[in-house]
Amino acid sequence: MAAKKILVLFDVDGTLTEPRAEASAEMQEFLQRLKSKATVGIVGGSDLVKQQEQMGANVVHDVDYSFSENGLVAYKNGELIGKEAIHTYLGEDNIKAIVNFALHYIADLDIPVKRGTFVEFRTGMLNISPIGRNCSREERNAYEVFDLANDVRKKMVAAFQERFGHLNLKYSI
Protein backbone atom coordinates (compact mmCIF):
# COMPACT_ATOMS: atom_id res chain seq x y z
CA MET A 1 0.00 0.00 0.00
CA ALA A 2 1.29 3.46 -0.88
CA ALA A 3 2.14 5.83 1.95
CA LYS A 4 -0.78 7.93 3.14
CA LYS A 5 -0.14 11.56 2.20
CA ILE A 6 -3.07 13.11 4.03
CA LEU A 7 -2.97 13.89 7.74
CA VAL A 8 -6.32 14.53 9.42
CA LEU A 9 -6.30 15.86 13.01
CA PHE A 10 -9.43 16.18 15.13
CA ASP A 11 -10.04 17.95 18.42
CA VAL A 12 -11.79 15.69 20.91
CA ASP A 13 -14.15 17.90 22.99
CA GLY A 14 -16.78 19.57 20.85
CA THR A 15 -15.67 17.87 17.61
CA LEU A 16 -15.45 14.10 18.03
CA THR A 17 -17.54 14.16 21.21
CA GLU A 18 -19.70 16.50 23.17
CA PRO A 19 -17.52 18.07 25.90
CA ARG A 20 -16.48 15.35 28.40
CA ALA A 21 -18.80 12.80 26.75
CA GLU A 22 -17.97 9.45 25.14
CA ALA A 23 -17.57 9.17 21.38
CA SER A 24 -20.47 7.48 19.65
CA ALA A 25 -20.07 4.10 17.96
CA GLU A 26 -20.70 5.87 14.64
CA MET A 27 -17.81 8.27 15.29
CA GLN A 28 -15.48 5.41 16.24
CA GLU A 29 -16.43 3.56 13.04
CA PHE A 30 -15.90 6.71 10.97
CA LEU A 31 -12.38 7.16 12.37
CA GLN A 32 -11.50 3.56 11.53
CA ARG A 33 -12.78 3.93 7.97
CA LEU A 34 -10.90 7.21 7.58
CA LYS A 35 -7.71 5.61 8.92
CA SER A 36 -7.66 3.33 5.88
CA LYS A 37 -7.46 6.41 3.63
CA ALA A 38 -5.46 8.94 5.68
CA THR A 39 -3.21 9.31 8.68
CA VAL A 40 -5.55 10.11 11.58
CA GLY A 41 -4.76 11.89 14.81
CA ILE A 42 -6.60 13.35 17.75
CA VAL A 43 -5.64 16.42 19.74
CA GLY A 44 -7.05 17.64 23.03
CA GLY A 45 -6.38 19.59 26.17
CA SER A 46 -7.35 16.77 28.49
CA ASP A 47 -4.90 14.21 29.84
CA LEU A 48 -4.65 10.76 28.30
CA VAL A 49 -6.89 9.18 30.96
CA LYS A 50 -9.72 11.58 30.07
CA GLN A 51 -9.16 11.01 26.34
CA GLN A 52 -9.40 7.26 26.98
CA GLU A 53 -12.68 7.80 28.84
CA GLN A 54 -14.03 9.66 25.81
CA MET A 55 -12.43 7.81 22.90
CA GLY A 56 -11.85 4.33 24.35
CA ALA A 57 -9.11 2.65 26.36
CA ASN A 58 -7.10 1.80 23.23
CA VAL A 59 -7.21 5.28 21.70
CA VAL A 60 -3.42 5.50 21.25
CA HIS A 61 -3.66 2.35 19.11
CA ASP A 62 -6.94 3.21 17.38
CA VAL A 63 -5.51 6.32 15.70
CA ASP A 64 -2.11 6.95 14.16
CA TYR A 65 -1.33 9.93 16.41
CA SER A 66 -2.70 10.90 19.80
CA PHE A 67 -1.82 14.25 21.31
CA SER A 68 -3.14 14.87 24.81
CA GLU A 69 -2.58 17.83 27.11
CA ASN A 70 -2.43 20.26 24.17
CA GLY A 71 0.18 18.18 22.39
CA LEU A 72 2.64 17.86 25.25
CA VAL A 73 2.06 14.11 25.51
CA ALA A 74 2.42 12.53 22.08
CA TYR A 75 1.89 8.98 20.84
CA LYS A 76 2.54 7.56 17.37
CA ASN A 77 1.10 4.13 16.61
CA GLY A 78 0.68 3.43 20.32
CA GLU A 79 4.25 4.40 21.31
CA LEU A 80 5.08 7.44 23.44
CA ILE A 81 7.21 9.78 21.29
CA GLY A 82 7.32 12.91 23.43
CA LYS A 83 6.36 14.45 26.74
CA GLU A 84 6.86 17.91 28.28
CA ALA A 85 5.58 19.34 31.57
CA ILE A 86 4.49 22.81 32.64
CA HIS A 87 6.08 22.59 36.09
CA THR A 88 9.53 21.91 34.66
CA TYR A 89 9.08 24.79 32.22
CA LEU A 90 7.74 27.37 34.71
CA GLY A 91 9.30 26.12 37.95
CA GLU A 92 7.54 25.15 41.15
CA ASP A 93 7.58 28.66 42.65
CA ASN A 94 5.65 30.06 39.66
CA ILE A 95 3.18 27.15 39.72
CA LYS A 96 2.48 27.77 43.41
CA ALA A 97 2.04 31.52 42.80
CA ILE A 98 -0.46 30.87 40.00
CA VAL A 99 -2.45 28.31 42.04
CA ASN A 100 -2.54 30.58 45.10
CA PHE A 101 -3.66 33.55 43.00
CA ALA A 102 -6.37 31.45 41.31
CA LEU A 103 -7.77 30.11 44.57
CA HIS A 104 -7.86 33.56 46.19
CA TYR A 105 -9.47 35.06 43.08
CA ILE A 106 -12.13 32.34 42.88
CA ALA A 107 -12.85 32.56 46.64
CA ASP A 108 -13.85 36.20 46.15
CA LEU A 109 -16.15 35.58 43.17
CA ASP A 110 -19.90 35.91 43.70
CA ILE A 111 -21.20 33.37 41.19
CA PRO A 112 -24.28 31.08 41.23
CA VAL A 113 -22.48 27.83 42.21
CA LYS A 114 -19.08 26.48 43.21
CA ARG A 115 -18.50 22.74 43.05
CA GLY A 116 -14.89 21.86 43.86
CA THR A 117 -11.72 21.09 41.95
CA PHE A 118 -11.13 24.68 40.91
CA VAL A 119 -7.54 24.08 39.80
CA GLU A 120 -6.65 20.90 37.96
CA PHE A 121 -2.95 20.34 37.34
CA ARG A 122 -2.20 18.73 34.01
CA THR A 123 1.13 17.94 32.43
CA GLY A 124 0.96 20.90 30.07
CA MET A 125 -1.47 23.30 31.65
CA LEU A 126 -3.43 24.38 34.66
CA ASN A 127 -7.17 24.06 34.12
CA ILE A 128 -8.74 26.75 36.28
CA SER A 129 -12.52 26.68 36.61
CA PRO A 130 -14.40 29.40 38.55
CA ILE A 131 -17.36 27.08 39.26
CA GLY A 132 -15.24 23.95 39.66
CA ARG A 133 -14.75 20.85 37.56
CA ASN A 134 -17.24 18.88 39.71
CA CYS A 135 -20.35 20.74 38.55
CA SER A 136 -23.13 18.98 36.68
CA ARG A 137 -23.84 19.51 32.97
CA GLU A 138 -26.89 21.61 33.91
CA GLU A 139 -24.83 23.79 36.28
CA ARG A 140 -22.14 24.18 33.61
CA ASN A 141 -24.72 25.24 31.02
CA ALA A 142 -26.33 27.73 33.42
CA TYR A 143 -22.92 29.13 34.33
CA GLU A 144 -22.06 29.64 30.66
CA VAL A 145 -25.14 31.86 30.28
CA PHE A 146 -24.21 33.73 33.49
CA ASP A 147 -20.62 34.15 32.32
CA LEU A 148 -21.64 35.49 28.91
CA ALA A 149 -23.70 38.17 30.66
CA ASN A 150 -21.08 38.99 33.32
CA ASP A 151 -17.69 38.29 31.67
CA VAL A 152 -16.43 36.40 34.72
CA ARG A 153 -13.80 34.43 32.81
CA LYS A 154 -12.72 37.40 30.66
CA LYS A 155 -12.15 39.47 33.79
CA MET A 156 -10.32 36.57 35.41
CA VAL A 157 -8.01 36.19 32.41
CA ALA A 158 -7.30 39.93 32.48
CA ALA A 159 -6.34 39.67 36.16
CA PHE A 160 -4.01 36.74 35.40
CA GLN A 161 -2.44 38.59 32.49
CA GLU A 162 -1.77 41.59 34.69
CA ARG A 163 -0.30 39.52 37.53
CA PHE A 164 1.68 36.99 35.45
CA GLY A 165 2.48 38.91 32.26
CA HIS A 166 6.19 38.28 32.78
CA LEU A 167 5.64 34.52 32.28
CA ASN A 168 4.23 34.95 28.73
CA LEU A 169 1.42 32.47 29.39
CA LYS A 170 -1.43 31.72 26.98
CA TYR A 171 -5.01 31.69 28.20
CA SER A 172 -8.06 29.98 26.78
CA ILE A 173 -11.71 30.43 27.75
d(CA 129, CA 111): 12
d(CA 136, CA 82): 34
CA distances from 82 to 65, 68, 109 (A): 12, 11, 38
Q: Is 62 a catalytic residue?
A: no
Residue 34 three-state SS: helix
Residue 14 three-state SS: coil
DSSP 56-114: -TTHHHHSSEEEEGGGTEEEETTEEEEE--HHHHH-HHHHHHHHHHHHHHHHT---S--
Active-site annotation holder among 11, 64, 108, 147: 11
Active-site annotation holder among 13, 93, 108, 147: 13
Phi and psi (nearest 5°) for 34? -65, -35
CA distances from 132 to 86, 115, 138 (A): 21, 5, 13
Number of residues that make up the chain: 173
Q: Which residues are catalytic?
A: 11, 13
